[in-house]
């Protein structure tokens, strides 16, 4: 077992393949964190702080134990730990927020506990869980802390259950799934801020005294921030040094809270926070937090990322993940809303001629959806555009030799729709106030079971007998005026959390109803690029920004926390829809950051261009498995330079796909040395693109590449081991 409960020392030690995590129940009662880092036979408390410094102590234990000066495993509110708190529970009988949870016992077991309604990592034969049980006599509540180990990926997850065992109501006022105190050091924070069209921009900053909050209050994990963060030493590079990664398996509003205290101790937390969430627990009720995951590597940011990639592939993504993905042709940037049966059949023919596998019919096929101001909610095909209905249309698409995918946006409604006219109360809106619109739409209240019933019934009817291989599930606005007609006043702060439960329920329904259809997730691009969405979605549309130069930064940032197999990338011509991308080859090479697709009007392409695309796709098929399942290495950062270089490598190091991409413009630097640390020293590799031979040693030392206008400023090498 990787979990050791050392009863005589009151210690608990968790071991993954290459890391150790340790804690001690001080005075048999307070869980104090000892160590989290590379495997250690004897994890001891890195530092003991016992000065009192205006921090309260438990008098009966002597003056030396102040929670405020210790590495607390799971800090709760009110017992003199003045740092940010993980759990705040209000006793509604007295209105008091003070709790004092005392450790009672711990047990370990194979597998894991499920989290009701919320996706979490799948257990496999290596998965084990530690459960620690605490209680608080005054509130009569029981706290269960869970640590689930995914040892093969060096990932440990954290979540808790709070049970109201008393006779009066309690309210959870702050909910963080994970809290970790680390010794003072020169820590830096990596976070991934952004905006619509500019998701996951990488930012690295020193962590100084005070509190830093990375949060979304939008009801979605959002383009603007991402729950994934990293903490690394100032000297940590891609290949070397301490690196921690943290993430929350959740798609709604979240909070990552980072604090450095009076002693220089760093506290890192991730969870639901306190601004958009509270949870009422009536007697007998219990609540389980979403799962937070953490990883550590002493081999730098690159290896910590690869731990997260392995974890996501093995424990999060739907099982079809390693199967071949369709190379899709999407109608959006080609025609926007102007689609109909005839055009889509022609488009399907075009897709086939270019060697693509699937036509994805995007927005515009249903209700009175001719622009973005109407139709959402009315999920029946528009009779003028599809006079024979969907079944025969899709058969016709398939007769062209391609599969069929379709766009939906279940969570939304336009005020100009039959659905809204029939059920205005189903849209999220505050009582007696005009709701704010965004893209002319309102958010349906997914916390309302009647809304879920409507959606299930409607989609079941619309798609009955229609052969669909792929859904693109979109979500194009964030929540405002949050209020649920389905909840009583005292539960209104649960509305956006219960909304997510409804969304997850609908995802599960889709997967059960259409078990052979893959789901591609989208939220105005990559606005819900999170682990919970990845539980249901094999791919996520990385960004609405399909400008190849801008994409490099978005794609780079996305690789820190998430595997490339998820990152849907299209060769497209951002906002110049009808035209063929001027830099077709460059766009293709950028799009090789993830599963490939195309999104422009291929009907306007010359025979030569069609042949070029066909060749691209044939070539892509030869190394697709590396992009979907290989190990990924970042080499040159497009944030620090105007180039982006990375490589994929097979598990046995025999095949390596190296890409070097340079934004057009005035290059800051012309030549880069790209070192392939995974090349086998004594082997000979052939670059199948140029036919040139390289020794493994040469690749390890690094090959020099220069930005070359002749080669569209993009170089690719596909090294295959010869001997
Ligand atoms: C969002 C998506 C696009 C497209 C449109 C359709 O913006 O990100 O890819 O599907 O919606 O309205």
Please report, for the chain, the start and end positions of each structural domain, with discontinuous segments joined by +.
Answer: 76-316, 328-627, 634-721
Angle between helices 548-558 and 584-591 (to 10 degrees): 10
pLDDT tens digits, one per residue of 480-521: 999 999 999 999 999 999 999 999 999 999 999 999 999 999
Burial track 344-358 (b if 16+ CB lie within 10 A, e otherwise): bbebbbbbbbbbbbb
Q: What angle do CA 654, 660, 661 make, to 5 degrees?
A: 150
Q: Please say if the pLDDT value at position 607 is more than 60.
A: yes
Strand partners, 510: none
Q: How far is the CA of 474 from the centre of ligand 1 (A)?
A: 7
Q: Report how far residue 395's alpha carbon sits from residue 352's, in angstroms, rounded to the nearest whole number.
A: 15
Residue percentage of the chain with pLDDT more than 70: 96
Q: Give 3-state DSSP helix, strand, coil % of the chain, rounded to 5.
A: 25, 35, 45
Residues contacting residue 538 through CB under 8 Å, at least 6 positions apart? 317, 318, 320, 321, 325, 518, 519, 520, 566
**Residue 554 to residues 144, 550, 659: CA-CA distances in angstroms?**
38, 7, 16
Please report the pLDDT score of residue 670 as a whole number.
75
- Give the mean pLDDT of 339-350: 98
Q: Confidence class of residue 641 from pLDDT cuts 50, 70 and 90?
A: confident
- Contact 597 CB / ligand 1 (< 6 Å): no
Tell me the backbone φ, ψ of residue 703, rounded to 5 degrees: -105, 145
Cα of 227 to ligand 1 centre, how many Å? 23
Task: Decide: 136 in ligand 1 pocket, CB within 6 A.
Answer: no
**pTM reported for the whole predicted model:** 0.97
- Indicate whether residue 326 lines ligand 1 (CB < 6 A): no
Closest CA to ligand 1's atom 6: 363
- For domain 76-316, give the CATH superfamily: alpha-galactosidase from lactobacil brevis (2.70.98.60)
Q: Determine which residue's CA is closest to atom 11 belonging to ligand 1.
A: 524
CA distances 240 to 96, 300, 561, 672, Å, are 47, 4, 17, 20
Query: Which pLDDT does position 324 carry in this prediction?
Result: 77
- Any ligand 1 atom below 6 A from CB of 544: yes
Average pLDDT, the chain: 95
Write down the H helix ranges in 362-479. Answer: 389-399, 418-422, 449-462
How far is residue 542 from each of residues 196, 199, 347, 569, 695, measured CA to CA in Å? 11, 8, 23, 7, 36
The catalytic residue positions are 474, 544
CA distance 488 to 481: 16
219 and 447 in contact (C-beta within 8 Å)? no
Assess whether pLDDT exceeds 60 at residue 251: yes
Instruction: Confirm or reject: Cβ of 549 under 6 Å from ligand 1.
Output: no
In short, whether 407's Cβ falls inside 6 Å of ligand 1 is yes
Residue, of 581 and 425, whose pLDDT is higher: 425
pLDDT tens-digit readout, 669-722:
678 999 999 999 999 999 999 999 999 999 999 999 987 776 667 899 999 999
Indicate whether residue 362 lines ligand 1 (CB < 6 A): yes
For atom 3 of ligand 1, the residue with the nearest CA is 524
Ligand 1 centre and the CA of 597: distance in Å? Answer: 15
CA distance 117 to 579: 45
Q: How far is the CA of 524 from the centre of ligand 1 (A)?
A: 5
Tens of pLDDT, residues 12-45: 999 999 999 999 999 999 999 999 999 988 776 6
* Nearest protein CA to atom 4 of ligand 1, as residue: 332
Count Cα neighbours of 274 within 13 Å in the Cβ-side half-sphere.
15
Pocket test for ligand 1, best of 331, 522, 568 (most atoms within 8 A of CB): 522
522 lines ligand 1 (CB under 6 A): yes
Q: Is the CB of 199 under 6 A from ligand 1?
A: no
Token pair, residue 468, equals 């669909």
* pLDDT for 268 beyond 80: yes
pLDDT tens digits, 162-171: 999 999 999 9
Is residue 474 lining ligand 1, measured as CB closer than 6 Å? yes
CB 250 within 8 A of CB 226: no
CA atoms within 13 A on the CB side of 355: 15
| Tokens, residue 317 | 């993504």
Are 148 and 156 contacting, i.e. CB atoms less than 8 angstroms apart?
Answer: yes
Which residues lie below 8 Å from residue 582, measured CB to CB, with a gap of 6+? Answer: 573
Dist. CA 115 → ligand 1 center (Å): 31
The hierarchical CATH code for the domain 328-627 is 3.20.20.70
Q: Whose CA is nearest to atom 2 of ligand 1?
A: 524
Closest listed residue to residue 99, CA positions, set 114, 89, 111, 84: 89
Beta bridge partners of 164: 141
Question: Distances in Å between the alpha carbon of 556 and those of 419, 594, 633?
Answer: 41, 11, 11
Give CA angle at 390 (389, 394), nearest 5°.
135
Q: In this predicted structure, what is the pLDDT of residue 144?
A: 98
- Please tell me if the CB atom of residue 524 comes closer than 6 angstroms to any atom of ligand 1: yes
By three-state DSSP, how is residue 550 classified?
helix
The separation between CA 623 and the C-alpha centre of its own chain, rounded to angstroms, equals 25
Confidence band (pLDDT; 50, 70, 90) for 666?
low
Is there a contact between 232 and 242 (Cβ–Cβ < 8 Å)? yes
Question: What CA–CA distance (Å, rounded) separates 594 from 566?
Answer: 7
Domain covering 634-721 in this structure, CATH number: 2.60.40.1180
Q: Is the pLDDT of residue 582 over 80?
A: no
**C-beta of 393 in contact with ligand 1 (< 6 A):** no
Structure token digits, residue 12: 């608990």
> What secondary structure letter does DSSP report for 565?
G
CA atoms of 566 and 564, how far apart (whole Å): 5
Closest ligand 1 atom to Cα of 407: 10
Q: In residues, how long is the chain? A: 723
Atom of ligand 1 lying closest to residue 523 CA: 8
Query: What whole-number distance in Å separates Cα of residue 21 and Cα of residue 175?
Result: 22
Measured in angstroms, how far is the CA atom of residue 525 from the centroid of ligand 1? 7
Q: Whose CA is nearest to atom 12 of ligand 1?
A: 363
Compute the distance from residue 522 Cα to the ligand 1 centre, in Å. Answer: 8
Distance CA 496, CA 474 (A): 18
Helices (H) and strands (E) in the chain, counts: 12, 38
Question: Which ligand 1 atom sits nearest the alpha carbon of residue 362?
Answer: 10
Task: Tell me the percentage of the chain whose pLDDT exceeds 90.
Answer: 89
pLDDT at position 576, please?
57
Ligand 1: centre distance to CA 520 (Å): 12
């Amino acid at each position: 077992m990787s979990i050791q409960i050392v009863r005589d020392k009151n210690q608990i030690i968790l071991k993954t393949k290459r890391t150790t995590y340790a804690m001690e129940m001080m005075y048999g009662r307070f869980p104090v964190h000892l160590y989290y880092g590379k495997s250690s036979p004897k994890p001891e408390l890195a530092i003991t702080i016992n000065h009192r410094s205006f921090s309260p102590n438990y008098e009966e234990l002597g003056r030396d134990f102040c929670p405020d000066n210790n590495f607390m495993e799971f800090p709760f509110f009110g017992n003199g730990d003045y740092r940010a708190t993980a759990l705040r529970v209000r006793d509604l009988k007295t209105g008091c927020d003070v709790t004092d949870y005392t450790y009672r016992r711990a047990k370990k077991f194979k597998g894991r506990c499920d989290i009701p309604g919320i996706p979490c990592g799948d257990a496999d034969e290596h998965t084990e869980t530690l459960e620690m049980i605490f209680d608080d006599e005054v509130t009569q509540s029981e706290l269960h802390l869970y640590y689930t180990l995914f040892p093969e990926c060096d990932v440990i997850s954290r979540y808790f259950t709070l049970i109201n065992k008393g006779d009066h109501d309690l309210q959870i006022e702050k909910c963080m799934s994970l809290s970790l105190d680390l010794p003072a050091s020169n820590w830096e924070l990596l976070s991934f801020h952004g905006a619509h069209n500019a998701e996951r921009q990488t930012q690295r900053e020193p962590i100084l005294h005070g509190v830093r909050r990375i949060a979304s209050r939008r009801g979605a994990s959002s383009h603007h921030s991402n729950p994934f963060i990293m903490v690394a030493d100032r000297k940590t590079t891609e290949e070397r040094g301490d690196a921690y990664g943290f993430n929350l398996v959740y798609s709604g509003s979240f909070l990552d809270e980072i604090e450095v205290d009076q002693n220089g101790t760093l506290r890192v937390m991730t969870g639901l926070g306190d601004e958009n969430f509270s949870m009422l627990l009536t007697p007998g009720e219990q609540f389980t937090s979403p799962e937070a995951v953490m990883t550590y590597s002493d081999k730098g940011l690159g290896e910590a990322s690869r731990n997260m990639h392995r974890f996501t592939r093995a424990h999060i993504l739907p099982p079809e993940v390693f199967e071949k993905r369709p190379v899709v042709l999407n109608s959006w940037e080609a025609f926007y809303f102007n689609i109909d049966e005839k055009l889509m059949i022609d488009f399907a023919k075009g897709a086939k001629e270019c060697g693509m596998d699937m036509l994805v019919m995007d927005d515009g096929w249903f209700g009175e959806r001719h622009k973005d101001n109407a139709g959402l909610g009315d999920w029946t095909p528009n009779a003028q555009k599809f006079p024979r209905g969907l079944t025969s249309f899709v058969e016709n698409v398939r007769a062209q030799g391609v599969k069929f995918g379709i766009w939906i946006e279940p969570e939304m409604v336009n005020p100009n729709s039959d659905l809204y006219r029939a059920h205005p109360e189903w849209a999220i809106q505050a009582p007696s106030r005009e709701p704010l619109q965004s893209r002319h739409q309102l958010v349906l209240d997914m916390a309302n079971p009647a809304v879920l019933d409507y959606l299930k019934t409607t989609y079941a009817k619309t798609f009955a007998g229609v052969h669909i291989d792929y859904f693109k599930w979109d979500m194009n606005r964030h929540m405002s005026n949050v209020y649920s007609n389905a909840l009583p006043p005292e539960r209104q702060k649960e509305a956006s959390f219960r909304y997510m439960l409804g969304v997850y329920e609908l995802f599960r329904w889709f997967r059960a109803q259409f078990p052979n259809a893959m789901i591609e997730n989208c939220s105005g691009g990559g606005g819900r690029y999170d682990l919970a969405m990845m539980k249901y979605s094999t791919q996520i549309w990385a960004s609405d920004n399909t400008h190849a130069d801008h994409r490099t930064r978005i794609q780079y940032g996305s690789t820190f926390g998430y595997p490339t197999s998820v990152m849907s990338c299209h060769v497209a011509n951002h906002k110049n829809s009808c035209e063929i991308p001027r830099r077709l080859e460059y766009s293709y090479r950028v799009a090789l950051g993830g599963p490939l697709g195309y999104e422009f009007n291929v009907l306007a392409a010359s025979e030569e261009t069609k042949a070029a695309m066909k060749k691209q796709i044939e070539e892509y098929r030869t190394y697709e498995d590396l992009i979907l399942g290989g190990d990924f290495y970042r080499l040159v950062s497009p944030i620090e330079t105007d180039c982006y270089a990375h490589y994929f490598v097979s598990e046995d190091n025999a095949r390596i796909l190296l890409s070097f991409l340079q934004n057009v413009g005035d290059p800051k630097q012309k030549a880069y040395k790209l070192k392939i640390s995974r090349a086998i020293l004594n082997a000979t590799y052939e670059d199948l693109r140029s036919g040139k031979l390289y020794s493994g040693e040469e690749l390890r030392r690094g090959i020099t590449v220069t930005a070359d206008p002749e080669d569209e400023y993009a170089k690719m090498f596909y090294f295959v081991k010869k001997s």
